[in-house]
Amino acid sequence: MPPISEVKESGFVRDLDILEALSEAIARTGEGLRLTDIAVATGREKSQVSRALSRLERAGLVARDDTSRRFGLGWRLFHFAAMTAEARLTGRAQPVMRELVASLGETVHLCVLRGIACVTVHSEIPRHGFRGLAWVGVEAPAHTLTAGRVLLAELGKESLLALYPDEELPDVPPTGHIRTRTELIDECTRIKTRGYATVDEEFEPGLVGASSAVYDFRGIAVASLNVAAPKSRLEGRLDALGQRLAGVARRLSGDLGWRA
């Protein structure tokens, strides 16, 4: 696959109109465009468009569905978009997370959902919270964590059935309380109703935690705020912590353009 620099030298700037035409079509209809449609939309010859599409496809900027023969946006564009959105999210979240650390004295994590895995993308850590550093970049089964469950709760029952085709959930810790798909769906319903999730020694003995979802301007849950700490420090305060996180998550969501 050639580097982006080669595509630029081949006329990438001229070919932005193709990406714009594909973007508009996907936004309007949910589908890409065939070669002839792209030529009409851009006012260019089919042969020119065909050569341009070949360059863009080699660079991962467009992709063709062999069945429908429609072109859509490629994986590389989505990769750039995801990186940019995640960086913006982290930048907006950092001040809010630092405030939480200062008031709670506990590590605060910002987590995202990738498939059925939950990944910590940023942590703010108090002086005594050296353990939190190890979580950044680590993937864990989403259904085993509050940070993952609050995001799964936003997907709805049909999506959960598709994500978890088997009734028995995979990779459940020995202390896990949620062991089946039915139990997960029921727990997600409770989480959605109250606006936060809690766990009591499910992921690891002696560890408790709470999480709440963060929404972007579209009203889509894009991340979760999570606090996990030894039970001795949070015992009896999990629901209060969940409510606190829900309020802070709403504030961060507002910073991202969300309106209830």
Over the stretch 70-91, which tens digit does the pLDDT of each residue have? Answer: 999 887 776 666 556 667 788 8
Round to whole Å and give the CA distance between 23 and 12.
16
122 half-sphere exposure, CB direction, 13 A CA radius: 18
Q: Is 258 helix (H, G, I), strand (E, B) or coil?
A: coil
Instruction: Tell me how far apart the 2 most distant CA atoms of the chain are, in Å.
Output: 70
pTM over 0.85: no
Over the stretch 7-38, which tens digit does the pLDDT of each residue have? Answer: 444 466 678 889 988 888 887 787 899 999 99
Round to whole Å and give the CA distance between 88 and 85.
5
Round to whole Å and give the CA distance between 48 and 209.
57
Single-letter residue type at 192: K
Q: Is 197 helix (H, G, I), strand (E, B) or coil?
A: strand
